[in-house]
Structure 1
Amino acid sequence: MQVMGDSKAQRNLINSIPKIKQYNGQNSIIVLDNFLRGLIRHMVVQGLTGPEKIEDSEGTLVVTNEDSGRTILMAGNLTEAALEWYQTYAEHPPDSFERGMKASAHRRTFLQIFRALFDRFITGAALKEINTLYDEVKYTTLGGVRQLFSDMKMYTQTMPVPPDEYRFKDNLLEKLPQSMRRILLNDGLGPNTATIDEIMQRALAVESGWEAEAYYDATGSQLNVSESETDGGESESEETQEGGESGGAQQPHLLTSWLKTQAR
């Protein structure tokens, strides 16, 4: 979403979105992915979209101003080792450039620089990290099925080689609570027979049933306690009342006996 024709409104919009978390060269796909997502948000707002190269008036393919803007935005959010690398690599012309050539025709594109940044700082250890994080995703009662699916999907999107659909469905079923998984499998919703959407819809329905059952169990327990307290109060009141009536009936009898004794 780009705000056109109103620079003040555009500045306000840019200031309203989260700032880009600067990248300093960490060997982490998660960190680099978050950095890229932040860049993309700001690119969209600032109108830095479109092709990376176009033909100029002479028919030469050159890097667009928008793509140069994307590169400048990235460079402004690099620090420490990443910034040093950028100054050494990206700010120097490529080997294909020679004196007398158009600089814009040989300038590196944003994607070329970002790929080089990835290759420079992301190693096999980072690839193992993302696989480990994916394997460690668990179902929680707080987040439920939706959070489980969201976390799994997030990590697969950052994997260089994500699991195929069958493996993802198999992993999803494995991570569900055992009783929920049993219901789904008994319904014929396995990795071979059901789509991801079918598995999710059934799991959400089961989870919703559990939540409703927990609600009514809690409500029923409170009602039982309340009724028990009320019954106890009524019983005690009845006993007191009966005791009072019995005592009142005895008083005339005792008084009569005492009067007879005095008359003698």
Structure 2
Amino acid sequence: MSDHQKAEKIPEKVNLITGKTRVFAILADPIYHVKTPQTMNAVFDAHGLDCVLVPFHVSPAGLPVLVEGLRKLQNFGGFIATVPHKPSMLALCDEVTDAARHIGAVNCVRREEDGRLVGTMLDGIGFVEAMRLRGADVSGMKVFLVGAGGASSAIAFGLADAGVSHITISNRSVVRAVELASRLTAAYPGLSVSTDDQDIEHHYLIVNGSTLGMQSSDAQPIDFTRIHATHLVADAIMEPAITPLLAAAQSKGATIFPGKPMLEAQILLMAKHMGALPQD
């Protein structure tokens, strides 16, 4: 078959990438699990935008070099940063929002025409909104949060802003848990915060904001035997869709909240911050 014949067989509905296409990216390590390209490109298509978002697999060591190169790409609009790059992006941006500064991490970056990078953090907003869309109002809840990294910090601040009454932070590094607790109490003096993670049962909402559960060999983020049917259990991990934590919670009759709706709830906010869609 000739190249001309192959070209004739391309379906009319395929969005062709041309020299006019505006390019966006997601940066991660590993990259296999990300769901953002499918979701964001569907948004671009729905809005009739000549844009594409592609996955970039970059290690932490290579992140500064890549980011510096992206500044120079004149048809590049911005990117989404995910595990493990969110905390590192804070220092690599020229400007960050107050939310990103409080949380200590960035997950969405806009490239200005002059190459300046403006970062924000939308994980917390997306998490709370995803729960609201499922009918769960977190106001007044006691929350048991696993993790103290970028995603967990964003979720913690999002929950605090939404009016939860208490957050217990459980993390492998106690120092990082204490540091996150200090930032939370500084920003929300009326919030009850603890790093004593021995008491799971008396919390209403359990959230895994760590990476534990992405690999089958991972340790359990919490002791699964302590989950009961009245818990709400959420996991920020996208792949697998049903993590071991969620599977265990489901088997106990608990209500579960998978990670992908969290992404879907913030995807429009990401498109707006990166300049693909107009700000409200």
Q: Same fold (TM over 0.5)?
A: no
Q: TM-score, normalised to structure 1's length?
A: 0.23
Higher relative contact order (CA 8 A, sep 6+): 2
Which of 1 and 2 has greater Rg?
A: 1
**Higher strand proportion:** 2
